[in-house]
A and B are shown apart, each in its own frame.
Chain A
Amino acid sequence: MRTQQTTAPAIEISQLTKSYGAARALDGVDISVPEGSVFGFLGPNGAGKTTTLRIMTGLADPSSGSVRIFGRDVRDPETRRSIGFLPDVPGFYPWMNAREFLRFAGGLFGLTGRVLDDRVDVLLRLAGLEDVKTRVGGYSRGMKQRLGVAQALINAPRLLLLDEPTSALDPIGRKEVLEMISSLRGRTTVFFSTHILADVERVCDTVAILDKGRVLTQASIDDLKARYGAHRLMLEVDKDPSGFAEELRMKPWVSAVDIQADGTMALTLSDLSQAQTEIPTLLVQRGLALKRFEGGEVGLEEVFVDLVKGGAR
């Protein structure tokens, strides 16, 4: 059931705050999610990811600020027709089986007859539950999570909101869910919160990193890596690197030097061009031969850790 297409972003969050007494769970969050993207909402536990999602789905009210979904207020019932939502711990009626629950969920969107039958069949297959006849009360956490993803898709949503969708899944279930999310790219906007960086790196095109209720950065994965990856350098020499590493640590353009198990030095730099100019001279002075000199392959994990430890740059 698709509502009228708009040119507004799929999600527009402006200056969102949420306080519980003196504690501030969200502190001026601004996020814009373009339609059709797969958006990763990253943050350590307690960063405010679930609170944001609860406000986005109308389950909680913001203290201030606004959330608009396809240009509409989240409290507008029409908005909910465009959304599929999977909470972090989905709760089901234990007396229903998977087929009954999906039929019930579809019925809440007004789906009936052949359309509902077909969707339920497709989603049961997708969730790997087509042959499971037992009641949901006896399901494992992983089975419940897969059923949760299936029910979130029953209305063919324009926007799929997933709160930690892979956290309870085994590696195969995780791979399947990530492939399913990836397959929705371009057709459905996917916004999913997680603390599993590998998942984000695998399927997302854009991420926002949240910490202590604040967005530290929002950018495409490539932008993030380019922005932070340029400041890393991998260096390998033919002799013991410890003396040279010590000398490098004294340089104002070096932020950190880590010597890895294979002897490679991982340099974090505040000025890459200065490093590229000075390092060859330093090597000659110490009589060291260069075996490797390259820009480090920075992972999202390193970006995430740097940002969360150091605050926004």
Chain B
Amino acid sequence: MKGAIRFLGKEFTEIVRTWRIWVVPGLLLFFAITSPILAIMTPALIESLAQGPSGIQIIVPDPTYLDAYAQWVGNLQEIVMFALIFTAGGMIAGERSQGTAILVLTKPVSRASFVVAKFVSNLVLLAAFTVTGALACWGVTYLVFHEAPVSRLAASTAAWLAYAVLILAFMTLYSARFKSLAAGGAGLGTFFMISVLTLWGPAVKYSPAGLLKASGDLLTGTQVDLAWPLLTTALGVVLLLGAAILVFRRQEI
């Protein structure tokens, strides 16, 4: 157990001391700050671009805090998610290819601890910086729009975070099984598959696809029941982690 805790400690130190701190956390903070600014500048930008010899005039409604929130969530759903998928693809595969897994796994660290430590460290990183990003987004939105209700932003971000945890669990399995790039490809395929499922009612009601759709709907004040999506997501995370441990245990390093 002490060995597993020490390995988890190494994971956190590694995040802080390598490029990993700059990718997902960096993107989260960047979009948290720029989303409200971009939202308030967008109408002016569009109007200035439209003014020309044609004489066509485009009238864009005044932006609100909801536009800032929508920018933030939109960035979470796409760019941050892609970054998460490709960085998490190497979480186990990278240790295997660099030979570092050999020195760890020939010491009293079980393969299950190894997999769980990888998942937990990435989860903590993701959750901590998503919350920090949401707070930063709220603060900048308030400064720019002088109005920034917390509840919609919090609910929408939380729904996305729960969905991102599921994607992280998928990536843990893929990284235990495949090389980094192949794991990233499998993760991208999974992401697109769930995105397509958001178009199908029953999937939205009962599966994790409901969380992805809800992260957008909650911003507009739409009432959504997330009990089933949250339940199936939690179940999915447990099953995927169990599968990752089984796969990694059977693997020759």
Contact = CB atoms under 8 A, between A and B. Distances in A.
A80 B252 contact: no
Contacts of A59: 102, 105-106, 252-253
Interface string A72-113: 000001101101010101111101000000001101111000
Contacts of B6: 104, 107-108, 110
Given A59-B253, A61-B252, A91-B98, A85 B106 contact: yes
Contact of B2 (A57, A83, A89, A110): A110
Interface string B99-140: 111111111111000000000000000000000000000000
Interface in B5-51: 6-7, 9-10, 14, 17-18
Contacts of B149: none
A65 interface: no
B251 to A, nearest CB: 9
Given A59-B252, A107-B6, A80 B107 contact: yes
Given A85-B102, A108-B6, 17 more contacts: A59-B102, A60-B252, A80-B106, A80-B107, A87-B99, A87-B102, A89-B99, A90-B103, A91-B99, A91-B102, A93-B100, A95-B14, A95-B18, A107-B2, A108-B104, A109-B108, A151-B103
Given A90-B99, A107-B6, A108-B7, A58 B110 contact: no
Contacts of A212: none
A89 B99 CA distance: 8
B100 A92 contact: yes
Which 9 interchain pairs have the tightest Cβ spacing? A91-B99, A107-B6, A110-B2, A108-B107, A60-B252, A108-B3, A85-B106, A59-B253, A91-B100
Residue among B7, B98, B102 with most chain A CB within 10 A = B102
Contacts of B108: 77-78, 80-81, 108-110
Interface of A: 54, 57-61, 77-78, 80-81, 83, 85, 87, 89-93, 95, 104-105, 107-110, 151, 155
Interface in B136-160: none
Interface of B: 2-3, 6-7, 9-10, 14, 17-18, 98-110, 252-253
Nearest to A78: B108
A58 B100 contact: no
A91 B103 contact: yes
B107 A105 contact: yes
A227 to B, nearest CB: 35
28 contacts: A54-B252, A54-B253, A58-B106, A59-B102, A59-B105, A59-B106, A60-B253, A61-B252, A80-B106, A83-B106, A85-B102, A87-B99, A87-B103, A90-B102, A91-B98, A92-B100, A93-B100, A95-B14, A104-B6, A105-B107, A107-B9, A108-B104, A108-B107, A108-B108, A108-B109, A109-B108, A110-B108, A151-B103
Contacts of B2: 107, 110
A251 B15 CA distance: 74
Contact of B106 (A57, A89, A95, A104): A57
A7 to B, nearest CB: 24
Contacts of B14: 93, 95
